[in-house]
Amino acid sequence: MAGMFRSIAPKLIAVLALGGGALAAMQWIDRPAGKDAPPAQAAAVKPAPATPAKPVERRSDQGMTVDPNALRVKRVLQIDGPFRHGDYAWDETGAPATGPVIITVDLRAQTLSVFRDGYEIGAAVILYGATDKPSPLGAFPIMAKHADYYSRTYDNAPMPFAQRLTSDGVFIHGSDVQWGRGTHGCIGVPTAFAKKLFGVTRTGDMVVITDGKMLDVSKAKVG
């Protein structure tokens, strides 16, 4: 079925090189698309392209302070069965009520995960940038948050629970996450999930966007 995702056990530990030569281990959650899932999202309502767009790496992590506790994964959510477009999981049971928050986005697996103090508390299938407007790769601090936001560029389109990642308009925001749709570079998540995500983040929290490969955040500083 198009858009279906397999649920598998986490299996890859990525070691991120941090400023000053220090090392911190972060568990990369490998939830790749299922065998019948397409390789990439399409431009908004068009069929999926045969070859996914190559994202452009744009870094915004210079001078960021990274709490090492945010990079040490202590628990991941167990998702049983298919994980399709429009699906998400959220479970804060057993996770600390406070602690550093980090969001990871894997464009290859088409998923987003949110961790608090190393505990994965949420995961969702995403929409991402279409061929002409690819989502950027890199580490980005949340610059601003807007619960009720509308696009100034694309016909006043609603972007509920928007969290700005770049100065040129890349956000995480609530979307109608359906197979065959894409964004103009933003990361779209189900609106109910976006509301929960909005409630646990604050400006300055780090969002790491990859294409399924380890990201070197050597310019970031360990807090």
Report the CATH number at residue 25: 2.40.440.10
Which pLDDT does position 68 carry in this prediction? 63
Name the active-site residue from 85, 146, 184, 186: 186
DSSP 3-state assignment of 189?
strand
In a domain, 1, yes or no: no
Name the active-site residue from 85, 146, 173, 184: 173
In a domain, 102, yes or no: yes
pLDDT in tens, 41-97: 433 333 333 344 454 455 555 556 666 666 688 899 998 888 999 999 999 999 999
Which pLDDT does position 41 carry in this prediction? 40
Work out whether the CA dihedral 94, 123, 212, 32 comes out positive or negative. positive
User: Cα 179 to the chain's mean position, in Å?
Assistant: 17
pLDDT in tens, 3-52: 333 332 232 323 233 332 222 334 445 554 433 444 444 333 333 333 44
What is the total count of domains within the chain?
A: 1
Helix (H) or strand (E) segment spanning residue 27 = strand 23-28
Q: Which domain holds residue 164?
A: 12-31+41-215
Q: How confident is the model at residue 214 (pLDDT cuts 50, 70, 90)?
A: low
Q: How confident is the model at residue 182 (pLDDT cuts 50, 70, 90)?
A: confident
Place of tokens 């001078």: 63
Q: Give how far Cα 44 sits from Cα of 21, 65, 137, Å.
A: 42, 36, 20
In a domain, 68, yes or no: yes
Residues 126-152: what's their mean pLDDT? 88
Can 186 be counted among the known catalytic residues? yes
Residues 147-154: what's their mean pLDDT? 77
DSSP 3-state assignment of 32?
coil
Q: What is the mean pLDDT of the chain?
A: 73
Predicted structure pTM score: 0.73
In a domain, 203, yes or no: yes
User: Cα 87 to the chain's mean position, in Å?
Assistant: 14
In a domain, 4, yes or no: no
Q: In terms of pLDDT, which residue wins out, 191 or 14?
A: 191
Place of tokens 């505990």: 119
In a domain, 223, yes or no: no
pLDDT in tens, 96-122: 999 999 999 999 999 999 999 999 999
